[in-house]
Chains A and B, each alone.
Chain A
Amino acid sequence: NAGVMQNPRHLVRRRGQEARLRCSPMKGHSHVYWYRQLPEEGLKFMVYLQKENIIDESGMPKERFSAEFPKEGPSILRIQQVVRGDSAAYFCASSAGTGAYGYTFGSGTRLTVV
């Protein structure tokens, strides 16, 4: 059981480029969550998805950010026209359901915008 797989581990983008972050949930998990973490801070919720559906995107900036979880393949967090302030660690987690389920986290993607 490979757990939650995120790639790439590190991503460097120039200002104005696009960043694509991938997350494959743990086998059997159909709920995916994306969080952003700045240095010395906690995790800020961004978006919660199930297969082909966005359940809650209240934490996602209205512009430049989008997320999907297609029927086949990993969940993708897409950041268009990146700016320096997008530099952060982005973590994906998955769970088997809502309620009394713990989350399994991936190792994160560290995005650096230069």
Chain B
Amino acid sequence: SQQGEEDPQALSIQEGENATMNCSYKTSINNLQWYRQNSGRGLVHLILIRSNEREKHSGRLRVTLDTSKKSSSLLITASRAADTASYFCATDARQAGTALIFGKGTTLSVSS
């Protein structure tokens, strides 16, 4: 079953605008990760936020985590056409020996 659900399913913006994607999950987690997938390619790890962290930055990426609401958001600032891709959140459940569970993703289109 899917642990994370991203919202919106699809997002279209202009270059230079900010893009915000949200992720909700169901069970307690150790950490939450965001990945990016360009069409037809493998996923690329973007950022990891631990359950005891509230916010993390990496370049133009900002991730927040609210464990009380079981939700996370990924903000991409000053978007570029090259940011066009699908973005997935993945959660690492507290149970030992479990693999990351991925959501269905948000498809971001950035037009120039």
Interface residues of B in 85-103 (CB under 8 A from A): 88, 90, 92, 96-103
**A98 CA to B99 CA, complexed, in Å:** 8
Cβ of A12 within 8 Å of any chain B Cβ, yes or no, is no
Contacts of B101 on A, CB cut-off 8 Å?
A: 45
Given contacts A99-B92, A103-B45, A105-B44, contact A45 B30 (CB under 8 A): no
- With beta carbons under 8 angstroms apart, the residue of B31, B44, B102, B105 that contacts A99 is B31
The interface residues of chain B, by DSSP majority, are classed as: strand
Are A48 and B92 in contact, CB atoms less than 8 angstroms apart? no
With both beta carbons as reference points, the residue of chain B lying nearest to A46 in the complex is identified as B99
Cβ of B2 within 8 Å of any chain A Cβ, yes or no, is yes
Number of interface residues of B (CB under 8 A): 25
Are A56 and B31 in contact, CB atoms less than 8 angstroms apart? no
Cβ of A85 within 8 Å of any chain B Cβ, yes or no, is no
Number of interface residues of A (CB under 8 A): 23
With both beta carbons as reference points, the residue of chain B lying nearest to A4 in the complex is identified as B42
Given contacts A42-B2, A43-B43, contact A100 B105 (CB under 8 A): no
Given contacts A100-B30, A100-B50, contact A45 B99 (CB under 8 A): yes
Are B105 and A42 in contact, CB atoms less than 8 angstroms apart? yes
Are B102 and A43 in contact, CB atoms less than 8 angstroms apart? yes
Contacts of A106 on B, CB cut-off 8 Å?
A: 42
What 7 pairs across the A-B complex have the smallest Cβ distances? A105-B42, A102-B45, A42-B104, A48-B99, A43-B102, A105-B43, A107-B42
Point out residues on B near A: beta carbons under 8 Å.
Answer: 2, 30-31, 33, 35, 41-45, 48, 50, 88, 90, 92, 96-105
Task: Give 14 A-B contacts (CB < 8 Å), ordered by A residue.
Answer: A33-B100, A45-B101, A48-B98, A48-B99, A55-B97, A56-B98, A56-B99, A98-B97, A100-B48, A102-B33, A102-B48, A103-B33, A103-B35, A105-B35
